[in-house]
Chain A
Amino acid sequence: MWTSQPPESRQNRIMIEVRSLTKLYPGVIAVDNISFTVHRGEIVGFLGPNGAGKTTTMRILTCFIPPTVGAVRIAEKDVRTDGMAIRRLVGYLPESNPLYHEMRVREYIDFRAQLKGVAFRERSAAVGAALEKCGLGEVRDRIIGQLSKGYKQRVGLADAIVHNPELVILDEPTIGLDPNQVRHVRDVIRELGERRTVLLSTHILSEVEKMCGRVLIINRGKLVADGTPGSIVNKLTVTGRVRLDVRGSGADMKKAIESEANVKAVVWENHNDYHTFKIESKNGNDLRPDVFRCAAKHGWEVLELGLERVSLEDAFVELTVGSLVTDTRTKSTTEKQPTVPAPPSEAQRSS
């Protein structure tokens, strides 16, 4: 039932193009000069703490509200002038998943398909396919208001995909679902991503790592990271933080490590029968040989020595909360320059 894309659009690889987008509300900068591009066929995760500007950005992309400054183009069409054409191309699931609770599932999806211009002859098939894809077959004749939250969320998802849109924008599609439902929604999204472009926002980082080829992290209206989950994590790992699990007398060992030439800071965690040290290097070099020599010299019982792996969650915290706290934290714990593609004004704004 998926129609193939016309040849001219296949050449044109850019689906979303955002240039210096800014959205001001009275007294608030909701989105502050962000730029990014999404190519056709990508599944892009849009991350950020609550109030970072994700929903505002998505509302601008779906032509619900216009940008204050900047250019936003969806499939070569401008959101300011071509709103109606863009709305036909885009399937959108808003954050609160608003539905008409008095309607029946099938009736609602049929109504939405009609609004989105699905031709009468194709409609029944399109509605059936959307219901099937979202696992709504059993409840197609139930009243939406009486469905569980998981089913309601799927109704919203079915609405977003019923007209076979080229771009699907999902604002927190898995919020409030149980793990099985999350898995199902994730499968639907992954399947969509095989043929369509998907932009989804979420708080759940494991979800992003599993589904998205690319991640945009937004904080306080600014884009603070853009890349694959791996590349974002790597950028934060290069400063060479080393983790050492070791048995022995913690205080002595901390002193010994701190006395090493290249060590800048040591964080000590005392576990029951062993200690974990997180050691930061002065110049960004790999500290593993230094730490190994130090341990060998003192004859410590080393359990594990390795580079500290940063998870996407750590990266998220580093990029969003971390940049906030940098100024107030003591130098010994994090003197890491944020390796973030952000303008220098970022640090000033967040202070």
Chain B
Amino acid sequence: MTNYAALVRRELAVYFVSPMAYIILTAFLLVNGLFFGWSMDEFAARRSPVNYGWIQQWMVYLLTLIAPLITMRLIAEEKSRGTIETMMTAPVSEWQFVLAKFSAAFLFVAYLLLPTVCYAILAAKFGTVDFGAAAAGYVGMLIAVAAVLALGLCISATCANQITAGVLTLIASLALIIMPMIARVLPQGEVNAVFLGINWGVFVVALRGALHQMNLLGHMEAFSRGIVDFGALVYFLSVVGLFLFLTARIVESRRWR
């Protein structure tokens, strides 16, 4: 436990001693602030109530794109510098190591989201905001981003170069955003496309279903409406669990070679 705490503290410190943390913080708050101002204008122009859930969904998209910057160095850097050798010859288990890395990235994202709470307060000044729904929305955002971070951590563990890890994670993030769009473009309902005596429509329906299930952001929609969706919670936690498990196995894999 002291090991885990020491590791998390170090990882967090690394973010804040490098310019990375400040660049990410500035960029995130700048883009988010512009979007928030614009969307408040829109709500006012349409004379519609403030839809804070919509703003939160936008933030998740933005965080999905930022996640590669947060996760890329986590394990890839330890491998390229060779510090994984000092780490794994100290009494530190693979699980402690991986969990600490993940926790640090997660805490960093939570820190990134903290200032955005003032948007909700600000919006409430000029309209009505359902704070309960906003709180549920934040839970949804955090666990959705946790899934992306776990994926990024896993990719970082497979790469010996943090730039490679960053690019691969960015591709994965973009795929997560694009997949639901593909699902929407695919023909809806029953599909019949007989070719060479096979009805390919079945595959299209299956693919659509699969893409729909992989739609991370779709799973968090219920949260931003104020519903803590138990199914979605289980979904995100299993995705996080799966990727952390894979990451620990990848770190351990040097022992099988």
Contact = CB atoms under 8 A, between A and B. Distances in A.
B254 A87 contact: no
A87 B86 CA distance: 10
Interface in B1-59: 2-3, 6-7, 10, 13-14, 17-18
Contacts of A25: 257
Interface in B84-125: 84-93
The DSSP consensus for interface residues of chain A is: loop
A98 B90 contact: no
A94 interface: yes
Contacts of A100: 10, 14, 81, 83
Given A98-B82, A114-B6, A115-B3, A92 B91 contact: no
A190 interface: no
Nearest to B86: A98
B86 A88 contact: no
The residue among B7, B89, B93, B254 with the most chain A CB atoms within 10 A of its own CB is B89
Interface string A61-90: 011111000000000000000001001101
The DSSP consensus for interface residues of chain B is: helix
Contacts of A99: 81, 83, 86
Interface string B72-84: 0000000001111
Contacts of A96: 82, 85
Contacts of B90: 87, 112, 115-116
Given A25-B257, A114-B2, A87 B91 contact: yes
B255 A94 contact: no
Interface string A136-168: 000000000000000000000001000000000
Given A111-B10, A115-B7, A98 B89 contact: no
A64 B88 contact: yes
Contacts of B3: 114-115, 117
A102 interface: yes
The residue among B10, B17, B81, B93 with the most chain A CB atoms within 10 A of its own CB is B10
Contacts of B92: 87, 115
A94 B92 CA distance: 16
Contact of B86 (A84, A114, A159): A159
21 contacts: A64-B85, A64-B254, A65-B257, A66-B255, A84-B91, A84-B93, A87-B90, A88-B91, A94-B82, A94-B89, A98-B85, A98-B86, A102-B18, A103-B10, A103-B13, A111-B6, A111-B10, A112-B90, A114-B6, A115-B7, A115-B92
Interface of A: 25-26, 59, 62-66, 84, 87-88, 90, 92, 94, 96, 98-103, 111-112, 114-117, 159
Q: Nearest 6 pairs between A and B by C-beta? A: A98-B82, A114-B6, A98-B83, A87-B91, A62-B89, A115-B90
